[in-house]
Structure formats: C-alpha cells, structure tokens
A and B are shown apart, each in its own frame.
Chain A
Amino acid sequence: MAGHEYYEYNLDNLNYNSAYGLIDGFASYANFVGRYTGGTFSSPGGNMIKTAMESYFGRASYIYDEKYYLEASIRRDGSSKFKQKDKRWGTFWSVGAGWRLTGEEFMKGTNSWLNDLKIRSSYGLIGNQSGIGNYSGYQLWSYGAVYTSSTAGTGIPASYTLSQGAFVNDGLTWENTRTFDAGIDFTMFKRVHGSIDWYNKNTINSVYNQPIAISLGQSTITKNSAGLRNRGIEVDLNIDIIKNKDINWTVGVNGTHYTTVLTKVPAGVGSDALNGNWTAGVDGWSANGGGSTGETAYLRGVGKDFYNLYFFKYGGVDNQTGLPLFHHRVTAADHAAGKFESTKIGDDIKTTDYSLASRYEMGSALPKWIGGFNTSFRYKQFDFSAILAYQLGGKYLSVEYANGLYMNGNIGSAMSAELLNNTWTPENTDAKFPMALYGNTFATNGATIGSWMYSDLGLFSASYLNIKNISIGYNLPASLLSKIKASNFRVFASADNVAMITGHSGYDPRMSLVGGLEVGAYGYPYMSTVSMGVNLTF
C-alpha cells in the first residue's frame, strides 16, 4: 500500500471595523488598530489560521502460514509548523514481526493446555509535532494605538505603539521517538486469556522550554534539546472461571506500570545550587492550554521522574510557640553567617521562620501500578457485574486541604474536622496542627506559606481503590417471555462510582489534572449515580 496526502487548513475572518494598517496589503487584524463603537465589534479582530501538512507513505505486510508475521512501514512528513526548509521534513518508519509458536510441530505436545501462544515485537521511529505552535519559528510584533478619545468612543489613533515579542528559536524540527515494543499473547486451558506488553519509547530531541534567567530577557527558550523516556509494562488477564449452562463467571484484571524520565537536557539547564537539577511549574490545565504556572511544583533532572513533587516539609508544631515548624536544609551560606553551626551542611533543622523553609523531593505523582478489575457472574437468569479501578503508589497534593481545609485561621470557611482539638494550645502542646490564629495569614497554618508554596501537610498517598460500577439484573426466562410475547425482559439496578477508598478522606487522586495536584475550580467531583430500570423488547 502506498499513498500521498496533502492537508491544508484555512480559516479567515476579519472584522469590518479594522483600519489604520501598518503594512500595506497585509489583511490580518494584527495589522490594524481602528476602534469604533456602535457596531458588533469594538476593536479589530478576527481569526486566521493556515497550516499545511504533506505526507508520503507506504506499508507492506506479510503473513506466512498463519505462523510468521512481518510488517514494515515508512513515511515522510512535511509540516508548515517548522520555519526552516531543512527542518520541515522528517522520515519515519517501523518494522515488526510476530511468531505463533503454537503453530509449530514441536509445540504439539502442549496443545492440551496451551491453546495459543504468540510472541511479537516491533521497532520504529515516529515523529511528533503536536506540541509545537503553528508559527513557532517567527518572532512576532504587536501593534496597537493610543486613541484620540480616551473613552471607548471613536477609533482615531493619536499615536501608535509597536513592540517586539519574545525571542524565538526558528530552528525547531520534528521530535523523533524511537519505540520498541515486545509482547506475548496466550490462551491456556481454553479459559485463561492474557497478554503482556513491554514498551520503551525514547524521545531523543523533545521540544523543551529551556529556562533562562529573566534578566536575559525572558524566562524560557524553546529547543529540540531534551530526551524523554517512557517505559512501561501492560498486563491483561481474563479468566473464565466457571462456564456451564447455569453459571458463567469471568474475572478480568489489568494493570500497567510506567515511568517517565528525562534522559537528556540542553546544556545550561539546571543549577549548581540544585545539583544540576531545576524546578518546574505545572502544565496548563484548561482546554486552551492556559492556566499553567511557573511557580514551583516539581524538581526535575536527568534520570529523575518527570513528576517529582517538590514542596516544603512540615515539621510539626513548635511546642513553645504553637507556630508551625518547617524543615530547613543547612547551607554553607548559613555557616558563613554563623547560623546553625552545630548542624552539618546538608542536614536539616526545624524552624518556625518559614522564610528559611527549604523544598524537598516528595516522590513521584505517578503511580507504581494502575489498573482495574472486572468480574461478571451469571446464575441462571440472574446476572451480576462489577468494575473496579485501583492505583498503587504515587503522591497527591490536595490543594483543597493545603489552601482551604487546613487553613486554621480561616474562621467562617470550611475546615477539616481533623483540626478539632488537634491544634496547639498551651494545654495541648503536642497537637498535630499549629495554633489557630484568627486571620488568613499564610505562615501560621503549616500547609502553605504563600501562593503555590505548599508544604507536605496536604500531601497524601495517591493509592486508591474505586468501585466504578456494580450492576445486577434478572432476565425473564424464555418460557415466560413467550407468554407475554416479548423477546427480552430484564430488570436491573446499576450504580456508578459506588465507593472510593483512599489513605485519607476528602480528596480524589483522579482529580489530578496537572501531575499530582488538583486545581481549584476545575475540581468538580465525580458523580455517584444509581439507576434502576426495566428493558423490555417485543
């Protein structure tokens, strides 16, 4: 099979009130500043998108004797997202092979219990351009005006403003990912069906927003300069435990373990102060990619997990003052200033001076293992099924706790019942939580000391077991169906999101939209629903 594909997307509209263009013959709203009242639009606007993609591709597959499988593909893609001609095209390919061992003579002896066994593997190079903006290689300017009438009245510019946007890297190209996959599919005793897959995806030139000091002009420069490795194993097993006329019972279990690790970063990333590592904020969480924040949430580095949470460490309550204690890692600068000299550099002290609080690696937001169970059981006309989801390992910072429920000074707002009789008082100096001070002062609650400056007080295990669905039903037997001239009659009850078991109540790790944290208003809880009904078919 071979093919050629060309794709072009064009969208074009421009408000009628655009005027005062900067560049002749450039019909883009960005080139106009007019502003008029009384119409549908108050200022120049519109939208123009133009992108193009061209591909050539071919694929061949070969199967011999239902035993040997071969497949190869190759494609060459060009994208308008890349500014420079020589960066625009990429060649990608894959080869794969499979072998059904149970088709071989020498496997005859195992036929009694091993019904099917196939091993397979593939290797390839795939390209990605999805994270790259449509015109990322162009340095942009913005054009505006100051108007003669200052209220939103007439649109005659008194003077124009023009400013140069951020510096860009115009040499971006396709991200290349080397993928390797090996798997095994099997059926045993005609009842046990399973597959196991191991994969390794190495992105060798991932597009990366390399942080730079803002004194150089901006906070990041984008480069094809990072390496990222996704590696994991997937297991899927289904067992027909009982299979006869009256009873049918199957159980399924699946799960996956994966890691995301940075393997390479550009020179200059990372700081000596952090042993070559660096801090990063959370990714955008709203649909259009907005909402990201540069404020620290992760410590990243080569070989480190990508979602390595990085927060302050709560050290309990100071028995004397009732104030929260925070861990501080003693530095050479401390010793030079004559502070904490009895503690070794790199060791911890606890202090109520939150301005000294140090950040610590708190573990990954990613689970060690995540998956589900399902079972269905039928006894004569009755049936039952359940679907469960689980996660083992991983950390979760509940912003709701850190910014709300543990804010012991927020009188009048919802607070965690854990605080009841468990805040410091002169009589209760061993309390878990600091003294409740009236007034929303950051540093006195122990959970947060500023915007996006959380301690691990609100950090919980992300392990959970969730009962996603339970349903029971009863099907009217055929003998009765014929009497009412129906072809099917079923009474059922079904419940979704039945129960959630976590290490600590009040949060839902599934709400993590940005790698280990939920974000404010976006944290709508999952609904629990129960439905009952009758299906009747004539």
Chain B
Amino acid sequence: MALESEISTLQETPNFRGTDAGSMRLLACLSDRVRLSTGETLCHGGDPSDAVYIVLNGDVEFVREGGDGLQRFGVDGPGAVIGEVGVLCDAERSLTVRAVSDLELLRLDRDSFFRLMHDKPDFSLAVARNLAMRLRTEAARGF
C-alpha cells in the first residue's frame, strides 16, 4: 500500500475523518508500515511504551494477561490508535494487544509521535477525540 492509499484509508476511519491530508501525509512519512499475522502479539502489558500504532487494516484485541487467565477488553479496527496512553503518560503498556486478523499498522516512534502532536493540531485533536471516546465508553460501562 502506498502512502496515498494509507492516507485515504485513515481519512475514512471515524478517528481521522476530516483531518487534513497534509497531516496524514506527514504521519505516514514519519511511520513504518508493519504487518502482523493472525494470533501474533503486537505488544505485551508491561512493555516499554516506545511507539504508537495506528491500525490500517485488520482488527486488534486488547487483553490483560494475569494469573487467572486472559481478561478481554474489546476489539478495535482500522483507525484505532494503540499505545498513545503509555507514551503520553510515560508509563509501561497496560494491556497486551493481539492481532485477531492479519494486520497492517503504522508504527510511529515516541519522538515522532510527540513531534506530530506538536506540529499538527488536527492530528492531536484526532488523538484526543479517540481518547475521549474511550473514556466515555468506559464511563458508560461503569455507570
């Protein structure tokens, strides 16, 4: 997939709809495109937060590995931003992320993520919106 199709794919997702093509292009230029096969693990809870991932194609599942087995936290698809909380909070990854189908992602290292947040407000807004939506979902569950 070339940069241009990555940009259109992202702009079609709810998280990045309406974002400026220039911002998305810079995001794509700063990222590596990586692949994972079904069942492979993207990262484990407790890993250092060294990068943020954005799903281009495929679905991921968030789980917590513990002594009493796996605790599932849901599935997300294209446009999902993964690992930004750990990077923003400068903390370890809290959950394990697995590919539930063949997966294509953009990998944005920590410094590039911060730089993009700083340079492109619409990207920052998309990340913030994504976080707010998750918070809202979690809050709804709690109530």
Are A and B associated in one complex? no
Q: Which residues of A contact B (CB under 8 A)?
A: none
